[in-house]
């Protein structure tokens, strides 16, 4: 199976690495140390080890996915043919840095909301660059992937409703399978109650303010509906206001910023000739 690593490597070296192939002896063996340049949570090491070893290099992990690292920590050692080590260097660092940055941001937000409401889950969205790898990084940071793909649970969003209407969308969803959860994105309070009456399992409040959600949660409780559904907040959520959403009474907070705008964690690779 072609992996994201394979595709990125092919893109980076369409016709090979002409610099290394020109100046590095073909049979030279070397050792590369992967070093953290800042504090954070490391993620992606297991994935990278599996993919790098497919091309004949040896990877020794010094840290595990989910471990905390500080500046100067060695997280892995890669050994083997020097040309191959230089070939994979940038792709390795790009994936490691991005996944670790996402895991670090996720852990920070998970810790923040747990201090406010230990029952709230932080979830990713489909606003990803590396798809599944971004979501794996979220889970390593202690978050939830939400849907891994469109094939998971049914999520009825604004464009579905615009095309067939809320009632028709939920009715068709309920006829599809009893094992699939049905989630409905709502922009109005009345649609939240209508969706529950029609059989929705999860209500996603799209771009609601925390105080608006708090009021809706109170209404759900007053009507005896709170235990029937999961409530999710999404849209306009940031590190600055996420605690307010955690206090609003929702079960899940999904935040696109985890994967669409998180800064990568900085790592470097130092490569030296292998000592016999």
For the question of residue 206 being annotated catalytic, the response is yes
User: Are 273 and 29 within 8 A, CB to CB?
Assistant: yes
For the question of residue 190 being annotated catalytic, the response is no
For the question of residue 127 being annotated catalytic, the response is yes
Read off the tokens for 144: 């939830």
Read off the tokens for 251: 């079960």
Active-site pick, 31, 89, 183, 185: 185
Active-site pick, 37, 157, 194, 226: 157
Output the CA–CA distances (angstroms, integers) from residue 141 to 5, 61, 147, 238, in the order listed: 21, 18, 17, 17
3-state secondary structure 215-265: HHHHHHHHCCCHHHCEEEEECCCCCCCHHHHHHCCCCEEECCHHHHCCCCC
Return the closest-CA partner of residue 244 out of 220, 216, 212, 218.
212
Active-site pick, 90, 114, 226, 274: 90
For the question of residue 90 being annotated catalytic, the response is yes
Residue 189: strand, helix, or coil = helix
Active-site pick, 65, 89, 201, 206: 206
The CA-based diameter of the chain, rounded to the nearest angstrom, is 75
Backbone angles phi, psi at 235, to 5 degrees: 95, 125
Q: Would you list the DSSP string of 131-182?
A: THHHHHHHHHTT-B-S-SSTTSSEEE-HHHHHHH-HHHHHHHHHHH-TTS-E
Angle 130-89-62 (CA atoms, 0-180°, nearest 5)?
A: 90
For the question of residue 70 being annotated catalytic, the response is no
Active-site pick, 112, 127, 174, 274: 127
Dist CA 237 CA 243 (whole Å): 10
Enumerate the active-site residues. 90, 127, 157, 185, 206
């Amino acid at each position: 199976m072609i992996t994201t690593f394979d595709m990125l490597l092919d893109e980076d070296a369409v016709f090979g690495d002409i610099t290394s192939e020109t100046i590095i002896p073909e049979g030279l063996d070397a050792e590369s140390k992967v070093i953290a340049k800042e504090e954070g949570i490391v993620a992606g090491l297991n994935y990278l080890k599996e993919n790098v070893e497919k091309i004949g290099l040896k990877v020794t992990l010094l840290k595990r996915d989910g471990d905390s690292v500080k500046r100067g920590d060695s997280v892995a050692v890669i050994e083997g043919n020097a040309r191959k080590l230089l070939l994979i260097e940038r792709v390795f660092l790009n994936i490691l840095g991005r996944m670790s940055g996402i895991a670090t941001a996720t852990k920070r937000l998970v810790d923040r909301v747990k201090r406010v409401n230990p029952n709230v889950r932080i979830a990713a969205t489909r606003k990803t660059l590396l798809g599944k790898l971004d979501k794996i990084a979220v889970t390593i940071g202690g978050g939830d992937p939400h849907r891994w793909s469109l094939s998971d649970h049914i999520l009825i969003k604004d464009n579905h409703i615009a095309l067939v209407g809320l009632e028709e969308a939920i009715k068709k969803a309920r006829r599809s399978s009893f094992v699939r959860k049905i989630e409905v994105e709502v922009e109005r309070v009345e649609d939240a109650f209508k969706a529950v009456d029609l059989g929705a399992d999860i209500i996603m409040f799209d771009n609601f303010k925390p105080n608006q959600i708090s009021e809706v949660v109170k209404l759900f409780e007053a009507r005896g509906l709170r235990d029937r559904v999961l409530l999710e907040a999404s849209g306009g959520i940031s590190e600055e206001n996420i605690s307010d959403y955690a206090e609003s009474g929702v079960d899940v907070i999904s935040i696109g910023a985890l994967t669409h705008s998180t800064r990568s964690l900085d790592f470097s690779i130092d490569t030296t000739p292998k000592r016999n």
